[in-house]
Amino acid sequence: MSIQLDKLSSNTVKSSVSGEHVELGSLWKDKTVVMFFLRRFGCQICRWAAAEVSKLEKDLRENGVALIGIGPEETGLQEFKDGGFFKGEIYIDEKKQCYKELGFKRYNAINVLPAALGKKVREIASKASNEGIQGNFSGDLLQSGGMLIVAKGGEKVLLHFIQETPGDLVSLEDITKVLGISASVQAGVKPQCNDDVCTR
């Protein structure tokens, strides 16, 4: 799907620090941004993915790129912050307008369970547990997320990624590749699973 950056840029999101509402476009006005849209702050997979993408924060910053996390609601935010899962700025899309316009789908009572119980999800959940990252079921369980990378000044969309299942994530390598930077970090290895056993 194509994104209308002009329309998207006028949506407002709320700063998790100041409580101030800012236009999304102001976040990419002066620098390229990597925006990580979380499904939920309490989601174990989202927490693992947030910690994973945060490994790039130093390299991104040194290349003039901002790392920004956006959640669809405030539920679980404080616990997420206290857990130190994410190193970038965090905003809330209270109306979920950005989520809608970016095509991040909503599950329903019928399709949420197969999506949440898929092999990819179980692999990452196992990895997260091994690293001491836990989750909970508070908040909106039906929202999916993704990632948006926008070049400085809103010149163009470098990456628009929509999750098909909660276990779909953009690799660190793909993020650095679209930005044209090199990173000094090692991606976490997802555990390998067959249907009932996971190993590291």
The 3-class secondary structure across 173-197, one letter per residue, is: HHHHHHHCCCCCCCCCCCCEECCCC
Note whether residue 199 is domain-resident: no
pTM score, whole prediction: 0.87
CA proximity to 150, closest of 36, 39, 20, 59: 36
Type of residue numbered 114: P
* pLDDT at res. 151: 96
Q: pLDDT tens digits, residue range 115-165?
A: 777 788 888 888 888 888 888 888 888 899 999 999 999 999 999 999 998
Q: pLDDT tens digits, residue range 183-199?
A: 777 666 554 444 444 44
Note whether residue 36 is domain-resident: yes
The CATH number of the domain where 172 resides is what? 3.40.30.10
Q: In the chain, how many domains are there?
A: 1
Q: pLDDT tens digits, residue range 40-85?
A: 999 999 999 999 999 999 999 999 999 999 999 999 999 999 999 9
Note whether residue 193 is domain-resident: no
Domain hosting residue 90, numbered range: 5-179
Residue 94: phi and psi, rounded to 5, are -60, -35
Please tell me the distance from the alpha carbon of residue 12 to that of residue 10, in angstroms, as a whole number: 6
Contact between 175 and 150 under an 8 Å Cβ cutoff? The reply is: no
